Amino acid sequence: MSADASLAWLLDSDPALRWQVERDLAGRPPAVWEATRARIATEGFGAQLLERQDPDGQWAGGAFFPADFDFDGPEAARGEQPWTATTWTLNMLREWGLDPKTLRERRTAELLAANSRWEYDDLPYWGGEVDCCINAWTVANGVWLGVDTMGLVDWFLEHQLPDGGWNCAWVEGSTRSSFHSTLNSLKGLLAHETAVGRTTEVTEARRRAEEYLLQRGLFRRLSTGEPVAAWIDHFGYPYYWRYSVLNAAEYFRQAVRFDGGTPDPRMAEAVEMIRAARQPDGTWLQAGRPPGRVWFEVDAPAGAPSKWLTLFATRVLAWWDSVPDRG
């Protein structure tokens, strides 16, 4: 596939994906990609999710799991997480670039404050709970919808582990950070700082957590230098909670854009893993999303070229290769 054909293939997409291609790969002017972005609320994936919002502000009747999820049933036995409840849906809409005014006009934040409780201890939605990843998504979704989530941001400062990261298993006594938990926590803190501005304490916490990943080259054990697990180069979209070097590299691209500077050279091996996964036609293949019920599919099946992953990987490589003598 030629470069022109690849771009045309990517542009033939849902507005949630197309506007990012227009802005980041095609170099279209703001008037073009902003108009495409505005269509998320009325067309395609975004509109379909908005149509599924419950009158009480939730999706599927629950905060993290749908109301009908049986924790002792076959889905749970298979280890499947449904991806239809409120948090997962807000994550998708936010990450796709939906203008939050659409949900603010629906008083979504207020409705969730009144009606949504976490499955863990029946805690109120915007107060978060004990899981780092859940709390990070609550911070990101909260600032997006205009909620004051500073209490949860402080929670991250209080629960940062000595090695610099976070682990959702801290409540079971874990004192070592997790790649998954650390990346998701970083995303939440970056969303907070991007929305409301920097504070010394939050920036320093984010720097320590970034250093946790960078010291490990985004994929190695610090103790042995060996890859931490097979999932480091499992590129599947949607990511949901899963770590991969592509997911991490995209975070660092956004962080450097916010903070200024250039890509950290310690990412070099991870970036080359991303480059090595590029197919001869310039696409990246879908490795498969995490199992579980969804409202509808948003990307190619496993083994097929993925427009989402091709966008993310192409964008990361362009950012990395923009540094002289590095591409």
Mean pLDDT of all residues in the chain? 97
Question: What's the chain's Rg over C-alpha atoms?
Answer: 19
Specify if 251 maps to a domain: no
Q: Is residue 297 within 8 Å of residue 288, measured between CB atoms? A: no
Specify if 305 maps to a domain: no
Task: Give the pTM.
Answer: 0.97
Q: How far apart are CA 130 and CA 147, in angstroms?
A: 19
Q: How far apart are CA 76 and CA 18, in angstroms?
A: 35
Handedness of CA 26, 96, 208, 213 (dihedral sign): negative
Specify if 102 maps to a domain: yes
DSSP 8-state symbol, 144: H
Query: Which helix or strand (DSSP H or E) is residue 132 part of?
Result: helix 132-144
Closest CA to 90 of 55, 111, 63: 63
Q: For residue 173, what pLDDT is reported?
A: 86
Q: For residue 172, what pLDDT is reported?
A: 86
Grouping H, G, I as helix, E, B as strand and the rest as coil, residue 218 is coil
Specify if 62 maps to a domain: yes
Amino acid at 317: L
Specify if 158 maps to a domain: no
Handedness of CA 150, 151, 154, 155 (dihedral sign): negative
CA distance from start to end of the chain? 21
Which stretches does DSSP call E strand in the chain? 284-285, 305-306
Listed as ranges, residues in the chain with pLDDT below 70 are: 1, 326-327
Specify if 90 maps to a domain: yes
Q: Is residue 129 within 8 Å of residue 120, measured between CB atoms? A: yes
Q: For residue 315, what pLDDT is reported?
A: 98
Q: How far apart are CA 243 and CA 183, in angstroms?
A: 7
Q: For residue 4, what pLDDT is reported?
A: 77
Q: Which domain does 90 fall in, by range?
A: 43-129
Q: For residue 312, what pLDDT is reported?
A: 99
Q: Which two tokens stand for residue 16?
A: 């949630």
The number of distinct structural domains making up the chain is 1
Specify if 124 maps to a domain: yes
Specify if 32 maps to a domain: no
Query: Which helix or strand (DSSP H or E) is residue 6 part of?
Result: helix 3-11
Q: Is residue 65 within 8 Å of residue 89, measured between CB atoms? A: no
Tell me the sheet residues that pair with 59.
53, 62
